[in-house]
A and B are shown apart, each in its own frame.
Chain A
Amino acid sequence: MKELSSNTRIPLSNGITATVKQKLGEGGQGSVYRVEINGNDYALKVYNKYPSRAFVRNLEDNVKKGAPTKHFLWPLWTVDSSEMFGYVMDIRPKEYVDFSKFLVAKARFASWSAMINASIQITYAFRELHRKGLSYQDLNDGNFFFNPTTGDVLICDNDNVCPPSTNLGIKGKCRYMAPEVVIGNNKPNNLSDYFSLSVVLFMLFFNNHPFDGKRVADVPCLNDAIERNVYGENPIFIYDPNKANNRPVRGIHTNVIIRWPLFPDFFRQAFIEAFSEDVLHDPNKRKSDNEWLRILTQLRSQTITHTCGNETFVDLDKTFTLCFNCQKSIEKPLMLTIGKQRIALYPKMKVYANQTSSFDDMFTVTSEVIINKNNPNIWGLMNRTQDKWKAVYPNGKELEIKPNAGLPIYKDVEIQFSSHIKGNIQ
């Protein structure tokens, strides 16, 4: 495939024409150009070689299906002529930074909230993709872009997305592929995606690969056979409670050594389970993206802004937690329990629609904790919805909470968000 010069006009599958403006980059499979379509800029990926019929048909199917969520830089239209094949997608805004830049510490999130938001958005996006009957197959650090300030996510390289266990000839990176795929026992599918997602999440939070500890650092030369062993045949989680031979090494695995102890027990336990020997080798036991969403939204509900001005995590199973910024003790705050979710009622805490309603929406704020202007010792829970809520006090007294009204936070109050969703303050 010859390079496209600027002003080349290219007919698209939808009958309109794209005009090439400039080359943006080059990868293993092809090149990406900035193109103009009806006055707007898009990205056009053109393959070096005309791909297989199955690949082309799959990509055309994906165009028809449309993006599972707004997070995907999804193929919008294809370009198909005898000489070339490619597709058009939205262009990535400048403020979105490659995941790999975060890993090599050339970018960082502005806050823990932004980091958690990124984790929730990724997991949500993959859940929706899987619910559409598709699998991504090749999750790795080259597929994600994050807005460091907000944690907003964009997912690229969606051209290998296809139904589970379909083979379009993808080649994944050992470090992110599920053990059964590394060994060659299975083709990538939803269950291997779940594994890759747990690796990506671990790396996002701890900036270390879950299997990169002493045992792996001690390998002088990581060749194919060894790489297949440590990521496929015999992977060992660095915090596996039953195997202590692959712990992080001081001076090498600095990030995870610093960050691992900061997180609440339940969150660390989730990774210990996800990377236990049993689960690593039994894909059916993997945590689904929906389970990860519960864990991640729970973490979000335990992330508070301490009075020292910095964010920290509170452990709701302990009577106090140390703020990891100022090292001062934080007494366990009152918490709002709704079903399985527990929300630390600390000023600035937000509650989301998936917690207070039956809507599966973890991004719309429905309530937040504020400090009473006249008496800073009184904290209130604001109703940020258009619906009326009801509070029931231990003595049976009831109080209506109108939209934009607040409820002072006291122990043992029940809040009825709707006829079937109730929360308790404990």
Chain B
Amino acid sequence: MNPLEAVEIARRQMTLFFIVDTSGSMNGEKIAAVNTAIREVLPEIADISSENADAQIKVACLQFASDVQWLFKPADVEGLTWTDLNAGGMTVMGEAFNELNKKLSRKEFLDSPTGNFAPVLFLMSDGQPTDEYRKALDSLRENRWFKVAIRVAIAIGDDADKNILEEFTGNSELVLTAHTPETLKQMIRFVSVTSSKIGSRSSGIGVGGGSANPEEESKQAEFAEQVKEFKDENADLEALSDGF
């Protein structure tokens, strides 16, 4: 091999998990908006990954309805093709938490030989769990990957159980509420791009020290700050009356 022709630098892996409620109530324009938004944002995330010497971005998608299913396991975002999610059935959110808990492990999905950056866990739901979720959520919250992850959720419409979403993110500021398909698309794009950018690079060091809260990762803090700015700028979007 000509030594001038380098191979790609050893990059860590950063996985963006889409965790999507595909129960019956999501049917119609909600799931259509989710599909369109993710389909459209993947090439943008591929761009972020393709020139990023710190980490390669992978994307995984877990859907939950009457059961849970990986639409795809962590896959390189470059060249990834989205397959539309279909909605129908119940809302086994507890099972989804259990499944996620199982896969957030170095022996499972986070097995990159070059190591990982903390993942992004992005939950979207429009309703209430139809299964026993409490124990599942409690034990997920003990998962060490979960603790360091950038966590964010979108409540789709007013029927979503925001309390659970808040428990998932650990911060009410990190739950966004979408009332129209347009807003939903806009939020998915914002959340996916911003979390990918922040999550996939070496930690930022602000001059004079890191995050004020030592329990909080600086990336989580930076992301929370950007979500807050987004919410402030788009206050009118969340205040809309429910169009779903």
Contact = CB atoms under 8 A, between A and B. Distances in A.
Contacts of B11: 104
B210 A167 contact: no
A219 B12 CA distance: 10
Contact of B4 (A111, A219, A251): A111
B243 interface: no
Interface string B200-241: 011111111111000001110000000000000000000000
Interface residues of B, number: 43
B53 interface: yes
A184 B11 CA distance: 26
Interface in B104-126: 106, 110, 113-118
A106 B113 contact: no
Contacts of B206: 169, 171
B237 to A, nearest CB: 16
A207 B208 contact: no
Given A167-B207, A169-B207, A175 B54 contact: yes
Contact of A253 (B5, B10, B148): B10
Interface string B1-33: 111111111111000000000000000000000
- Range, interface on chain A: 35 or more
A152 interface: no
B142 to A, nearest CB: 15
A222 B117 contact: yes
Interface of B: 1-12, 50-54, 106, 110, 113-118, 144-145, 148, 197, 201-211, 217-219
Nearest to A248: B10
A377 B46 CA distance: 55
Given A141-B53, A217-B10, 11 more contacts: A104-B50, A104-B51, A181-B207, A218-B115, A221-B115, A221-B117, A221-B145, A224-B203, A224-B210, A224-B217, A324-B3
Given A100-B51, A187-B208, A224-B210, A174 B9 contact: no
A268 to B, nearest CB: 15
B203 A258 contact: no
Given A184-B209, A207-B6, A221-B145, A173 B204 contact: yes
A255 B9 contact: yes
Contacts of B145: 221
B189 to A, nearest CB: 13
Contacts of B12: 222
Secondary structure dominating the interface of B: loop
A389 B37 CA distance: 71
A167 B117 CA distance: 28
Contact of A219 (B3, B115, B197, B207): B115
A85 interface: no
A106 B1 CA distance: 17
B203 A174 contact: yes
Given A221-B110, A221-B118, A100 B204 contact: no
Given A104-B52, A106-B50, A184-B208, A252 B114 contact: yes
A221 B10 contact: no
A217 B114 contact: yes
A187 B9 contact: no
Contacts of B144: 221
Interface in A200-222: 203, 207-209, 212, 216-222
A404 interface: no
Contacts of A258: 1, 3
A400 B30 CA distance: 86
A378 B27 CA distance: 83
A244 interface: no
A100 B7 contact: no
Contacts of A235: none
Contacts of A254: 7, 10
A228 interface: yes
Interface string A97-140: 01111111110110110010000000000000000000000000
Nearest to B1: A258
Contacts of A212: 10
B8 A105 contact: yes
Among B3, B110, B118, B197: residue with most chain A CB under 10 A: B3
B151 to A, nearest CB: 14
A224 B218 contact: yes
Interface string A220-240: 111110011001000000000
A223 B53 CA distance: 17
A155 interface: no
Contacts of A223: 118, 148, 217
16 contacts: A100-B51, A105-B5, A105-B7, A108-B6, A171-B205, A173-B202, A207-B7, A212-B10, A221-B115, A221-B145, A222-B115, A231-B202, A251-B113, A252-B114, A259-B3, A325-B2
Contacts of A173: 54, 201-205
Interface string A147-186: 0000000000000000000010111111111000110100
Nearest to B217: A224
Nearest to B220: A224
A251 B11 CA distance: 12
A262 interface: yes
Nearest to B208: A184
Given A173-B201, A262-B3, A220 B115 contact: yes
B51 A170 contact: no
Nearest to B113: A252
A216 B115 contact: yes
A406 interface: no
Given A221-B148, A224-B217, A103 B205 contact: no
